[in-house]
Amino acid sequence: MIMSEKQLQDERAKVTETGQDQSGSANNAMDDALPPAYSTHVQHTQIASSCSTEFQPPSNPTNSTEFQSPSNPTNSTEVQPPSNPTNFLSLILKDKPIRGCYVIDPLIQIPTNKDRRNLYLRTKDGSINADIWLIGQEEAAPNNGRRTTLSLSSQDGSITAKINTVKVVAPFLLDIYARDGSVTVLLPRSFHGSLLLTTRQSTKLSDDLLQRSTILSTVERTRRYFVGDFPHQLFDNWNGDELRVESRDGRIVIRYRDEAELPKTGFFSRIFSS
């Protein structure tokens, strides 16, 4: 059958409309989850390409700002972040892994709602390997109850999170959920606060971390620790550092950023790990 020019144009228009409808319905599910980042400072692709996730700490950890005491924040060589900072950054993928470096300055003012996280990484089917840098100030600021909030989640994949600090950072809350994958977290030595770890599999803390920790409870699949000097008052209203990890079918490993990979066995690990 020979079609007229008008009929050909009508057919092309139908194909174009059908493609747009299919593309729109595929994207709506992810758009409903969370809006894109409000930041105009840096894009995810720029961050990932300009930062190596294989950052190596100095051989002497006491010379790094990651281990500064708030009372003497300038007594060290400053470690520079690998890219320009941003804030309230969201990255949501459906079937891809997330790997990159994310420099967060919670003081950057970007219009957003008050409940938005400073960093939000989410993938449905893929792993996450995030090298996270938190930017602080030259001197410790009064604790106003506001924390830097970080959230990482994967429905089907392992998660690794490395936390680096520059200068004196505000307290942070790191929330990680991996339904079907293991979780590894590398904390800065300045971490002072609560660990809430839930999994059906094993939970392992490095010997250094266990030596600085107080175990508070073990209830079925959940263990609770406090790292650093334990506050004897107002613990229910704690607004300092906090790490929450939940993995349904994967093990949880927590260690300090400057430590070597956690050995398979250790004195404290054999006592406190399941």
Written in H, E and C, the secondary structure of 138-160 is: CCCCCCCCCCEEEEEEECCCCEE
The total of other beta-carbon atoms located within 10 Å of residue 250's CB is 22
Structure tokens at 76: 């060290």
Written as six digits, the tokens of 17 are 């409309």
Q: Which domain holds residue 101?
A: 42-272
Residue 132 resides in a domain: yes
Q: What is the mean pLDDT of the chain?
A: 75
* One-character DSSP codes across 51-62: --TT----SSGG
pLDDT tens-digit profile of 114-135?
678 999 999 998 999 999 999 9
Residue 6 lies in a domain: no
Classify residue 231: in a domain, yes or no. Answer: yes
Calpha distance 13→15 (Å, rounded)? 6
**pLDDT category of residue 235 using cuts at 50, 70 and 90:** low
Residue 230 lies in a domain: yes
Residue 33 scores a pLDDT above 80: no
189-231 confidence digits (pLDDT tens): 999 999 999 999 999 999 999 999 999 999 999 999 999 998 7
Is residue 83 included in any domain, yes or no?
yes
**In-domain check, residue 146:** yes
- Can you give the pLDDT at residue 51? 60
Q: What is the mean pLDDT of residues 255-264?
A: 81
Signed CA dihedral, 100, 103, 106, 111: sign only: negative
pLDDT for residue 48: 43
Residue 27 has pLDDT above 60, yes or no: no
Read off φ and ψ for residue 12, nearest 5 degrees: -60, -40
Looking at the domain assignment, is residue 140 inside a domain?
Answer: yes
Angle at 261 between CA 256 and CA 263, to 5 degrees: 110
Answer yes or no: is 101 within a domain: yes
Residue with tokens 């000097």: 229
- What is the pLDDT at residue 80? 75
Could you tell me the pLDDT band of residue 145, with boundaries at 50, 70 and 90? confident
Number of domains in the chain: 1
- Poorest-confidence range of 2-6, 28-32, 155-159, 198-202? 28-32
Query: What whole-number distance in Å separates Cα of residue 126 and Cα of residue 43?
Result: 20
**Does residue 18 register a pLDDT over 70?**
no
